[in-house]
Amino acid sequence: MEITQHSQNNPTPTNPLGQNTGNDGRPLQGMPPQGMPPQSMRAHGMPPQGMPPQKGNMVMGDIINTLPTDKNNPNEVEQNIANTIFGEKLSITEKLVKEGKDMFIIGFLFVVFSLPPLDNIIKKFIPITVNSIYILILIKAILLMIIFWLIKHFYLSRK
């Protein structure tokens, strides 16, 4: 690597192709090769010196129309993979039934946990709830969440 001097105080390293390089030997972005006038930089796709390259002018990925495609229908394995990644498209009725199960379970558990006999059972096993209704409500809420999670993940997850 040779060093040329534009001025006495500013040595600029260049590579064998005549491109200005940094200390690591890689060409500097935005710098024209040595001997290239700055006016011709735009013709070579380079931004003017001191300006970063603009991302609007650069293609960051492949253009969709140029990607290879397969005209064959996906087989069952490929369809299962796509459904796993993107999820199956459910109709509105199927979505309502799926969400309705959760709402029904939560409503049923809420009614059961609101019954006075359950309050008495909890007060018998956790004596601090006799003096504080807030602790009783907190215990019932935690139990409701645990039972809902168990139903959702163990009973409803089986198909």
Give the H or E element holding residue 106.
helix 92-114
User: Over pLDDT 90: what percentage of the chain?
Assistant: 29
Cβ neighbours, 10 Å, residue 129: 19
- What number of H helices and E strands is found in the chain? 4, 2
pLDDT tens by residue, 18-38: 665 666 666 555 555 555 555
pLDDT tens by residue, 60-95: 788 888 888 888 888 889 888 888 888 777 788 888
